[in-house]
Amino acid sequence: ELDIDRLDFDHCEDEPIHTPESVQSYGYFFAMNEQEQNIAIISENVLSLLPIEEELIGWNFFDLLDEGEVDREFILETFDRAKEKETRLPIRIKFKEEYVIPDMGSDFLAVIYYSSGHIVIELEPATKFREVYSAEHYVKMYATRTAPRFQQFESLADMAERMVETIRYITGMERVVLYRFNDDASGVVIAEAKVDEIESYLGVNYPASDIPAQARELYKKNWIRLTPDVNLKPARLLPAVEESGRPKLDLTHSLLRTMSPIHRQYIRNQGLCASFSMSLVTHDNLWGLISCHCRKPTYIPQDVRLQCENLSQLFSWHLYAKEEELHLNQRNRTEDAIRTMLDKVSANNPIVDIFSEHEEDILKIMDSEGFVFFSEGKTVSIGTVPEISVVQEFYDALDTEKNRYYVTDQLVDKVSEESLLNGIVGILLIPLLGQRNYFTAWFRKEHKREQKWVGLPNERSDASTKREKLTPRASFDIHVKKITGQSKKFTEIDIDMAIRFNRVFLAYVLEVQEKMRQDLLALEEQDRHRNEFLAT
Ligand code: BLA
């Protein structure tokens, strides 16, 4: 099985998982030269499907097909589209009866894609697995029953919950989790649907190395992967690289690609036999995975998997839309608060008074415990704030040419004396109007919490030997990590709100004040003239 010492890389993220030179034997693999359409590479199990006496290599693939049932032109057009869009597309294949072993059936579901000069076709038997519903039924179900509920949900977690239930219904797997990536590529299970007998993963965090960087990249290009049985012997691609001298074939768009042996061992260590996962991508960013688990071998027909892929793409859009909606709601609340304050700005209502009238609003906009508006002339502070000299130091240290703001959720180790912080540990500081010595800052207190973890956040990068780095997770024991000394994180949206506050509200106020100053100067000037005049 897995022999770490024989792996020729030292770090998880260096494993070339897109060129394993084998596929899983629940399907059959053909690669043809793009020009002549001659078979150049097959998976070794093809030999048990098409017991053709002569070498299959070199045959024209289309000569094997039942031309009455299969439209060659359509297949080649589909290939051109797949190549152009850098994806794979579904087709149907039927072999001439005389070429296939009788009880294998001759009807196949297939996908076609381009890989380095080759037309690749991957086949799976269409008739072997009978389904209660057609695969299209599931998309309809999502559209009519799952998605319409999303509108009324106020959080992504509620949507995630509904989605894992839907996917569990479709796939029949024992446990379905929605795994969301954190900013540092570690991740957490935010929703789960499962049978009673299997352990719960809900709320558990896992280190980034459980899904290394190259896998996350690959999963952005190819949204689904099924391992129906981790113990299925991989079918090698023939002729082998060592014999033919051909370059390794890129299986980025493959459905059948054998997964990394390290990850296969991980699945076994979880006590599982089958795994199916789908990507969730928003803003061209791998947002998360829907991961399905089963303790016994479980095959999901190709058309159902391709519909699951459609669903994960739809769901990604719905996540995106919900994120935008939540963002918009927060922005509207901020803008309402700003507008109310703007209405009160006038020559005889100085900013300090407006701030103190609206202390609560100002803190609420940012879910903060303290706020400071610092200008050369005067400082306004609301709620709990650190000693102003400390804040000034952070401002002075900020390179305003390069950074639009300074943010941290962990101030304690960044100051000489903790007592100066007055219990504040999070800060978002934003210079104002590009002028020196004008800024706003928002503060958050400590947010003590407990996180469930399997493993340690940096366990692999901290490991010293190759063996330690590459050994798949063996223990899935959950331990509780107490998070102290940190505030809630200021999110991108929080930062956006604060910048908005500065731009809209303060910019306006400063403008009014500047205008008042100018008016005052003009009046003084008039006075001076009048006095001079009177004096003469
Ligand atoms: C891939 N790791 C994966 C995948 C998941 C996880 C879901 C996607 C492949 C699949 O669908 O099975 C991890 N599975 C999880 C997590 C949960 C889960 C976090 O159920 C939590 C509920 N793994 C290791 C180490 C390495 C490693 C040490 O433990 C590297 C040395 C690697 N994981 C690894 C690799 C892949 C992977 C290489 C890619 C597999 C492939 O697509 O070939």
State whether the beta carbon of 12 lies less than 6 angstroms from ligand 1: yes
- Interval 295-345: pLDDT, tens: 999 999 999 999 999 999 999 999 999 999 998 998 898 888 888 887 887
At residue 204, φ and ψ (nearest 5 deg) are: -90, 140
Q: In a 10 Å sphere around its CB, with 0-12 CB exposed, 13-18 middle and 19+ buried, how is residue 378 labelled?
A: exposed
388 & 288 share domain: no
116 & 247 share domain: yes
Cα of first residue to Cα of last residue in the chain, in angstroms, is: 107
> Residue 320 in 3-state DSSP?
helix
Residue 258 has pLDDT above 70, yes or no: yes
The pLDDT, as a whole number, for residue 98 is: 85
State whether the beta carbon of 273 lies less than 6 angstroms from ligand 1: no
Residue 507 has pLDDT above 70, yes or no: no
Portion of the chain with pLDDT greater than 70, in percent: 96
State whether the beta carbon of 189 lies less than 6 angstroms from ligand 1: yes
b/e map 104-121, b = 16+ CB within 10 Å? bebbbbbbbbbbeebbbb
Residue 127 has pLDDT above 80, yes or no: no
At residue 215, φ and ψ (nearest 5 deg) are: -70, -40
305 & 406 share domain: no
366 & 263 share domain: no
Across the range 78-99, mean pLDDT stands at 94
Q: Which of 3-12, 13-22, 436-445 has the highest mean pLDDT?
A: 13-22
How many angstroms is it from 217 CA to the middle of ligand 1? 13
205 & 350 share domain: no
The pLDDT, as a whole number, for residue 433 is: 63
Residue 194 has pLDDT above 70, yes or no: yes
Minimal-distance CA residue to ligand 1 atom 43: 259
317 & 376 share domain: no
Q: Which of 263, 287, 456 to mutate to test the pocket of ligand 1 (most atoms within 8 A of CB)?
A: 263
Q: Residue 473 CA: which ligand 1 atom is closest?
A: 29
Candidate from 144-158, 333-347, 498-512 with smallest mean pLDDT: 498-512
Residue 3 has pLDDT above 70, yes or no: yes
162 located within any domain = yes
State whether the beta carbon of 161 lies less than 6 angstroms from ligand 1: no
403 located within any domain = yes
450 located within any domain = no
114 & 184 share domain: yes
Q: Residue 20 CA: which ligand 1 atom is closest?
A: 43
301 & 403 share domain: no
How many angstroms is it from 340 CA to the middle of ligand 1? 51
State whether the beta carbon of 279 lies less than 6 angstroms from ligand 1: no
Q: CA 417 to CA 460: how far, in whole Å?
A: 34
15 & 108 share domain: yes
State whether the beta carbon of 211 lies less than 6 angstroms from ligand 1: yes
Residue 130 has pLDDT above 60, yes or no: no
State whether the beta carbon of 263 lies less than 6 angstroms from ligand 1: yes
Contact criterion met (CB below 8 Å) for 109 and 26:
no
Q: What domain range is 51 assigned to?
A: 4-324
State whether the beta carbon of 292 lies less than 6 angstroms from ligand 1: no
Q: CA 444 to CA 487: how far, in whole Å?
A: 6
Candidate from 151-165, 252-266, 339-353, 504-518 with smallest mean pLDDT: 504-518
How many angstroms is it from 43 CA to the middle of ligand 1? 24
- Interval 35-50: pLDDT, tens: 999 999 999 999 888 8
- Interval 351-394: pLDDT, tens: 778 888 889 988 988 899 999 988 776 788 999 999 998 998 88
Quick one: pLDDT band at residue 133, thresholds 50, 70, 90? low
Q: Residue 226 CA: which ligand 1 atom is closest?
A: 11
Could you say which of 295, 324, 353 is where a domain stops? 324
Quick one: pLDDT band at residue 29, thresholds 50, 70, 90? very high
What CATH number does residue 374 fall under?
Answer: 3.30.450.270
The pLDDT, as a whole number, for residue 461 is: 80
453 located within any domain = no
Residues in the chain, total: 536
State whether the beta carbon of 124 lies less than 6 angstroms from ligand 1: no
379: tokens are 């400082």
Mean of per-residue pLDDT scores for the chain: 90
521 located within any domain = no
Q: CA 220 to CA 466: how far, in whole Å?
A: 28
The pLDDT, as a whole number, for residue 408 is: 94
401 located within any domain = yes
Minimal-distance CA residue to ligand 1 atom 15: 210
State whether the beta carbon of 274 lies less than 6 angstroms from ligand 1: no
Cis preceding-peptide flag for 239 (omega within 30 of 0): yes
State whether the beta carbon of 223 lies less than 6 angstroms from ligand 1: no
73 & 102 share domain: yes
> Residue 90 in 3-state DSSP?
strand
282 & 370 share domain: no
Portion of the chain with pLDDT greater than 90, in percent: 62
Please state whether beta strands 204-206 and 449-453 pair in parallel, antiparallel, or not at all (unpaired).
parallel
Q: Residue 225 CA: which ligand 1 atom is closest?
A: 11
368 & 294 share domain: no
Total tally of structural domains belonging to the chain = 2
117 located within any domain = yes
State whether the beta carbon of 286 lies less than 6 angstroms from ligand 1: no
Contact criterion met (CB below 8 Å) for 227 and 276:
yes
Q: CA 512 to CA 306: how far, in whole Å?
A: 60
Q: Which of 3, 9, 186, 210 to mutate to test the pocket of ligand 1 (most atoms within 8 A of CB)?
A: 210
Q: CA 223 to CA 312: how far, in whole Å?
A: 8
Across the range 237-248, mean pLDDT stands at 95
Q: What is the pTM of this model?
A: 0.89
How many angstroms is it from 361 CA to the middle of ligand 1? 45
Q: Which of 140-154, 199-213, 423-437 has the highest mean pLDDT?
A: 199-213
Q: CA 294 to CA 273: how far, in whole Å?
A: 6
166 located within any domain = yes
State whether the beta carbon of 207 lies less than 6 angstroms from ligand 1: no
State whether the beta carbon of 280 lies less than 6 angstroms from ligand 1: no
